[in-house]
Structure 1
């Protein structure tokens, strides 16, 4: 039998936080929607993007967010469902009088050798170039590229390592590619929504130093390879000038511009799209698909092994052939493990 205890039931007084999105944040979302409607390159996607932001602005997820950084992260995550080049971020205003202002991507590239972190000649006379970003083309970066390409100018093959390359400026892809073709070659085009015009990117007629027009080219990729790095890989692959080895890339083919929304909020809106002259399309969402598929970790060994297996067939001195055969055996064992 149930027994009921006589007494007083005390209900604690509970205060509930205001779960409405602040007017300031609603205004930011409204302004963001306006800019996307005006600038986003795939106009047919705009209704879905704007509807998603409208729904998000009254969602519980956004209502429960307190900090500006978390608010920006929710917006950013929502936008990236439509295009990986979308971005929305927040950063606290720098204190007046301090020298701790944040370093931009371009400033970091300028400070760190235009992104080139390693250049060497491997056993078998194979050039290896590892770089993490595509710098803007200027006198400094042009000289750095010339120095890098000079290092591998007499190599029998060259491996470009883009596994940790997040992209950058398409003109750097244009400059490096110019070393790899004898004749002026159409690499890529970009359609700009704001003007309705299409810019064509061709190899430059002249470069500093020696060209590598007959040298086999291999490109290493991972799922972190993105944007201009994908442009480089996709363009050379479509022109049958390079073999791509590794993982399918990130899938970002839409250049973006940054807009300041005030109070530390900055949005990146894709306003152009790549159009490859061979495929008539691009790598948006689908990524660049490797010719030789492997994990990010095995990509180098697989590419190097493939290069050497082809080089050993050429007419070589005894010492050169012996060096290659020994390295092939070593790489074969590593790939089997």
Structure 2
């Protein structure tokens, strides 16, 4: 018979009590008809006072008020579910993807408890700390092979806090021969950050980026590139912007601006379609609503991307966008540069990209024609694969990236090109990543 120690029973009992206590603490107070009425009234009031289109605000308000009166929300006791349904009902009228109702009691309580100056400072510190943990949206900045710069930007954070990160990133990219800005996972943010980053892509002469109309103040505003930036601008560097269906709001404005200013090539998917800036406001002690209070009016098109999204120049699934843009950048750099050394410099990573995106398959019969000795180098055909070895060195599998050019699996700095006369392979040419080449005749020591 199995004996259970008394201490074990105590531990298990305590764990059960702790779990029950935690569940009780996390339990959300169900909605009441009175709270539903308060939420709907407050949201309606804020939309009617601030939503960018008054007539649509009236229709949205009428819709949720009517549904409440008819009892459509009566059976909804879960606040999260209620916020989701209200969001869907508001969007059904407006088709505005920015509008959303959220159940955020903790966030609201935190804001309402910020009373003294010390409270405000502490609240701000927590806010900035959260931004820092994500490096203010600057996920990755690097220089890829071929001197192509890459920036993975996940948000357009407030310039007041993220300005230094933006300046550092853009200066890091200033020596690149082309720049890829990845906005596939960017949901938006601050127009001021758009202005700052864009300023690095133009000269010092002001460029008109966008206009905005603001409903609450009934006023218009404009954004232009900045006359001064810290560090180096890149006005002549080719720019590629990667987009997806998740690219939204400020990320769309950035893409839309550069597209119509003919400053960038957009690669990827059509974006989400949200052109109405605004912000979250407290509706009750448990609910918030994001209210679009303005609309973008592009100075070139006199319209915006609301509901339609920004269409790319090169349409491709988002997952393929980086490889496509990288290939386009390298091919363009090769085409526009007549220096043979630089062409070889751009061709090196381009060949690897082509192998990745469009692999070449050669028949065993063709592969056998390359086998043989080339001075100190030996090429062998084994198990339908081709292998390269110099002297007693490492044996590498050869991967074709054209009908006569091969990469070495596991060696990025050296490649092989077979030379032929007619249909006969006559020599092996070694290709090095610094542009140097050498050659050995087939069958010669």
Task: Report TM bin, short chain.
Answer: 0.7 to 0.9
Task: Give matches, 1:279-318, under 5 Å.
Answer: 279-315=301-337, 318=340
**2:97 pairs with 1:84:** yes
Residues 159-205 of structure 1 show CA distances to partners (whole Å, capped at 9, x for unaligned) of: 00000001101000000001111121110111100111111000010
Residues 191-234 of structure 1 show CA distances to partners (whole Å, capped at 9, x for unaligned) of: 10011111100001000000001001110000000111111000
Provide the rounded CA distance (Å) in 1 between the counterparts of 2:208 and 2:145: 33
Provide the rounded CA distance (Å) in 1 between the counterparts of 2:42 and 2:155: 31
Q: Which residue of 1 aligns with 2:287?
A: 265
Sort the Cα spacing of 1:285 and 1:108 in 2 relative to 1 into closer, same or farther, 3 A.
Answer: farther
Provide the rounded CA distance (Å) in 2 between the counterparts of 1:172 and 1:292: 25
1:161 pairs, out of 158, 182, 188, with: 182
Provide the rounded CA distance (Å) in 2 between the counterparts of 1:46 and 1:107: 36
Q: Which residue of 2 aligns with 1:334?
A: 356
Instruction: Please tell me whether Structure 1 or Structure 2 has the larger radius of gyration of its CA atoms.
Output: 2
**2:19 pairs with 1:26:** no
Q: Which residue of 1 aligns with 2:74?
A: 63
Q: Which residue of 1 aligns with 2:238?
A: 216
Q: Is the 8 A contact 2:196 2:225 kept in 1?
A: yes
Cα offset, 1:24, TM superposition = 2.0
Sort the Cα spacing of 1:146 and 1:324 in 2 relative to 1 into closer, same or farther, 3 A.
Answer: same
2:195 pairs, out of 153, 159, 174, with: 174
1:278 pairs, out of 280, 296, 300, with: 300
Q: Is the 8 A contact 2:32 2:77 kept in 1?
A: no
Provide the rounded CA distance (Å) in 1 between the counterparts of 2:280 and 2:219: 20
Root-mean-square deviation (Å): 2.4
Provide the rounded CA distance (Å) in 2 between the counterparts of 1:60 and 1:246: 44
Provide the rounded CA distance (Å) in 2 between the counterparts of 1:104 and 1:177: 29
Cα offset, 1:30, TM superposition = 1.4
Q: Is the 8 A contact 2:209 2:299 kept in 1?
A: yes
1:184 pairs, out of 206, 210, 213, with: 206
Task: Give matches, 1:103-114, under 5 Å.
Answer: 108-114=130-136
Q: Is the 8 A contact 2:42 2:284 kept in 1?
A: no
Structure 2 counterpart SS, 1:62 = coil
Provide the rounded CA distance (Å) in 1 between the counterparts of 2:183 and 2:263: 16
Provide the rounded CA distance (Å) in 2 between the counterparts of 1:107 and 1:79: 33
* Larger RCO (CA within 8 A; separation ≥ 6): 1
**2:153 pairs with 1:131:** yes
Cα offset, 1:58, TM superposition = 4.0
Structure 2: which 5+ runs fail to align? 1-30, 114-122, 360-445
Residues 101-140 of structure 1 show CA distances to partners (whole Å, capped at 9, x for unaligned) of: 9x988653344221101011111110000010001111x4
TM normalised by structure 1 equals 0.87
Sort the Cα spacing of 1:167 and 1:317 in 2 relative to 1 into closer, same or farther, 3 A.
Answer: same
Q: By percentage of residues, which structure has more strand? A: 2
Q: Is the 8 A contact 1:106 1:135 kept in 2?
A: no
Structure 1: which 5+ runs fail to align? 1-19
Provide the rounded CA distance (Å) in 2 between the counterparts of 1:149 and 1:258: 30
In the alignment of these two chains, the number of paired residues is 314
